[in-house]
Structure 1
Amino acid sequence: MFGKGSKLYSILNYRCPKCHEGKMFKNPNPYEISDLTKMHDSCEVCGESFLREPGFYFGAAYVSYALTVALWVAVLVALLCFDWWGLIEFSFFENPLTFFISGLATLVIGLPILYRLSRSIWINFFVKYDPHAKESAQAGTAKEQPQA
Structure 2
Amino acid sequence: MENKRPKPGYLLSILGMRCPRCRRGEMFTHKNPFKKIKLDYILDMPETCPECGQKFDLEPGFWFGTGYVSYALAVALSVTTFVAWLVLVGVSTEDNRIFYWLGLNGILLVVIQPWLMRLSRVIYLYFFVSYDENYQQSKPFEFDHKL
Residue of 46, 49, 63 corresponding to 1:57: 63
Please list every run of 5 or more consecutive structure 1 residues that lacks an aligned counterpart in the other structure: 85-89, 138-148
- What displacement does 1:94 show? 3.9
Within 2, Cα distance between the matches of 1:71 and 1:37?
21
Q: CA RMSD in A?
A: 2.0
- One-letter amino acid matched to 2:73: L
- One-letter amino acid matched to 1:17: P
- C-alpha change, 1:80 and 1:8, in structure 2 (3 Å) is same
Within 2, Cα distance between the matches of 1:133 and 1:107?
36
**Percent pairwise identity:** 43
Q: Deviations over 1:11-57 (max 9, x none)?
A: 11111110111100000112122321111111011110001011111
- One-letter amino acid matched to 1:122: Y
Bigger helix fraction = 1
Residue of 6, 10, 13 corresponding to 1:7: 10
TM-score when scaled to structure 2? 0.79
Please list every run of 5 or more consecutive structure 2 residues that lacks an aligned counterpart in the other structure: 1-5, 140-147
CA contact (8 A) 1:22 1:44 kept: yes
- One-letter amino acid matched to 2:109: L
- One-letter amino acid matched to 2:29: K
How many residues are matched?
130
Within 2, Cα distance between the matches of 1:68 and 1:19?
28
The residue that corresponds to 1:128 in the other structure is 130
